[in-house]
Structure 1
């Protein structure tokens, strides 16, 4: 039986979050998300509708960036760079687990 987290991820991947939903979940204004998209720090899913959609990976990324900006007063570009590095570390750890090395 799939875990609740896997089920939530599956639902998010099927339909995605809207700009307003993502902003509300992350406790930021929709303008904050839009600004980060315009600056190339966030990339929404390819548009299938007339509005942007965001996956569970976007949700994690936005939460990381928001946390870095708020807790460490990081400029958006630096916060996004740190989020990039965290995502790369997470991916490398997944690869190590799959290879049975961790």
Structure 2
């Protein structure tokens, strides 16, 4: 008999139009506000608003924040290293996109 173990991962679909405050983002990411502020200071996350209490983060930021936090935790990276890794991952995604476009001709 062949049994398959499956893990169910809960997820939430967040539209790009959704806006999170800093406190809300910290709650959904299950992290403290200070860690998110550090990621903002390193340029990993880009909020709108001039001060932390007025910052708003778009829905797409949720995924980026979670990836950044996971990288930081799993690879034991500091915020600057996390920013570098995310920049490299963004570059890889852009290059893959260009390759797909070139391959479709």
Structure ID, larger Rg: 2
TM-score, normalising length: structure 2: 0.67
**Partner in structure 2 of residue 61 of structure 1:** 64
**Structure 1: where are the runs of 5+ without partners?**
1-7
**Structure 2: where are the runs of 5+ without partners?**
1-12
**Partner in structure 2 of residue 101 of structure 1:** 103
CA distance in 2 between counterparts of 1:20 and 1:68 reads: 21
Q: Which of the pair has the greater relative contact order for Cα pairs under 8 Å at 6+ separation? A: 2
Cα distance change on mapping 1:95 and 1:21 into 2, 3 Å = farther
Q: What are the superposed Cα offsets for residues 39-68 of structure 1, whole Å, 9 maximum, x if unpaired? A: 433221x329x7111123322221121111
TM-score, normalising length: structure 1: 0.69
CA distance in 2 between counterparts of 1:20 and 1:95 reads: 37
Q: RMSD over aligned Cα, in angstroms?
A: 2.7
CA distance in 2 between counterparts of 1:36 and 1:86 reads: 16
Structure with more helix by fraction:
1
CA distance in 2 between counterparts of 1:55 and 1:88 reads: 21
Alignment of 1:1-102 (within 5 A): 8-9=13-14, 11=15, 13-44=16-47, 46-47=48-49, 51-97=54-100, 99=101, 101=103
Number of aligned residue pairs: 91
Partner secondary structure for residue 14 of structure 1: coil
